[in-house]
């Protein structure tokens, strides 16, 4: 069976379609990778922002605890050396509060709680400074009495509650970002696997079509070769037949020529005698 032009067109169309499908699968995988890279950047920004928030919260808590530790040590001992943590905290408090508020500005819920914490911290530092000023004025008993009013403790309780909420929120943001990133990675893994399987199927199908078409071409070439061989054989047979017919014609012509030669010679001789008789004046009897 010869490979007809429609089969060639179908082969070309099938191969082209397979190549386009494989290319489409590769494009999908590449685009999904690009999307995941972009999403990974977003997740990274979210995680970094949440970690900055957590660090700012912990640092501010540590600052207040250091200040309170220095104040209590000084009030209990009267030794100015105990004031060192308080003085360092007091010196860094303004910049740290500004940094804390700036970091929380990008997150609406965190910003709301941060705006509540700022006055609590300010009041707590003011309360610490008042007790230290009283102690410096040799009014330690009055300073201790102010501490026992638990006013500063009330500020710290409210601040710790807000700190706890803000820490939980930042941790939840980090966990959610990590889960989203893991989900995206898992999705990419499945897309890559499915795309790879699809490409393998397309390549396998294309290979099968090429092999089938090649097999048909080989079969057609064999048929054409057989037909050519038979045609050459028939041409040789016809040539031999024509040669034999030509020989027969030549033999027949020779025979005819040989058979007609004797009568022609006789006729020519008879004609010559008639011409001689006519020329000699001989009367032919009637």
| CA 11 centroid distance within chain | 28
Confidence of residue 260 (pLDDT cuts 50, 70, 90): low
| 84 domain-assigned | yes
Which residues are CB-contacts of 73 (< 8 A; sequence separation ≥ 6)? 79, 82, 83, 85
What pLDDT, on the 0 to 100 scale, is given for residue 232? 73
| 283 domain-assigned | no
What pLDDT, on the 0 to 100 scale, is given for residue 84? 92
Rounded (10°) CA dihedral 211, 213, 216, 220:
-130
Question: Per-residue pLDDT averaged across 174-186, rounded?
Answer: 85
Q: For residues 188-200, b (16+ Cβ closer than 10 Å) or e, as one string?
A: beebeeebeebbe
Domain of residue 61 covers 5-204
User: Which is more confident, 204 or 64?
Assistant: 64
Tokens in use for 162?
């807000």
| 42 domain-assigned | yes
| 30 domain-assigned | yes
| 120 domain-assigned | yes
Question: Per-residue pLDDT averaged across 8-27, rounded?
Answer: 77
Task: State yes or no: pLDDT of 281 exceeds 60.
Answer: no
CA pair distance 55, 170, nearest whole angstrom: 10
Q: Identify whether the C-beta of residue 135 lies closer than 8 Å to the C-beta of residue 75.
A: yes
The mean-pLDDT minimum among 22-26, 64-68, 74-78 falls in: 22-26
Residue 172: how many other CB atoms lie within 10 Å: 11
Q: What is the pLDDT of residues 87-122, one digit of tens each?
A: 999 899 999 999 999 999 988 999 999 999 999 999
How many domains does one find in the chain?
Answer: 1
- Whole-model pTM: value is 0.59
CA pair distance 150, 173, nearest whole angstrom: 34
What pLDDT, on the 0 to 100 scale, is given for residue 162? 94
Angle, vertex CA 154, rays to CA 151 and CA 160, nearest 5: 145
Tokens in use for 266?
């006789």
Confidence of residue 279 (pLDDT cuts 50, 70, 90): low
Instruction: Phi first, then psi: give them for residue 138, nearest 5 degrees.
Output: 60, 35
User: Which is more confident, 233 or 80?
Assistant: 80
Q: Residue 97: which CATH number?
A: 1.20.120.30
| 68 domain-assigned | yes
| 121 domain-assigned | yes
| 52 domain-assigned | yes
């Amino acid at each position: 069976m010869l490979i007809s032009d429609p089969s060639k067109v179908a082969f070309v169309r099938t191969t082209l379609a397979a190549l386009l499908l494989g290319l489409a699968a590769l494009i999908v995988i590449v685009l999904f990778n690009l999307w995941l890279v972009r999403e990974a950047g977003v997740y990274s920004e979210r995680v970094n922002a949440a970690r900055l928030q957590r660090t700012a919260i912990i640092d501010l808590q540590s600052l207040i605890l250091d200040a309170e530790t220095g104040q209590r040590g000084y009030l209990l001992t009267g030794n100015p050396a105990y004031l060192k943590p308080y003085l360092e905290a007091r010196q860094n408090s303004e910049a740290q509060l500004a940094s804390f508020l700036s970091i929380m500005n990008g997150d609406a819920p965190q910003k709301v709680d941060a705006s509540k914490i700022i006055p609590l911290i300010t009041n707590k530092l003011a309360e610490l400074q008042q007790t230290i000023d009283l102690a410096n004025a040799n009014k330690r008993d009055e300073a201790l009495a102010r501490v026992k009013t638990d006013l500063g403790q009330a500020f710290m309780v409210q601040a710790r509650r807000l700190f706890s909420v803000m820490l939980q929120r930042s941790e939840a943001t980090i966990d959610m970002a990590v889960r989203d990133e893991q989900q995206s990675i898992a999705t990419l893994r499945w897309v890559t696997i499915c795309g790879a399987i699809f490409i393998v199927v397309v390549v396998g199908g294309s290979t099968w079509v090429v092999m089938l078409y090649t097999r048909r071409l080989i079969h057609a070439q064999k048929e054409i070769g057989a037909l050519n061989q038979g045609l050459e054989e028939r041409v040789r047979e016809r040539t031999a037949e024509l040669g034999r017919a030509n020989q027969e014609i030549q033999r027949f012509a020779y025979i005819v020529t040989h058979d007609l030669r004797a009568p022609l010679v006789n006729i020519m001789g008879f004609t010559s005698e008639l011409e001689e008789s006519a020329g000699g004046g001989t009367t032919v009897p009637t």
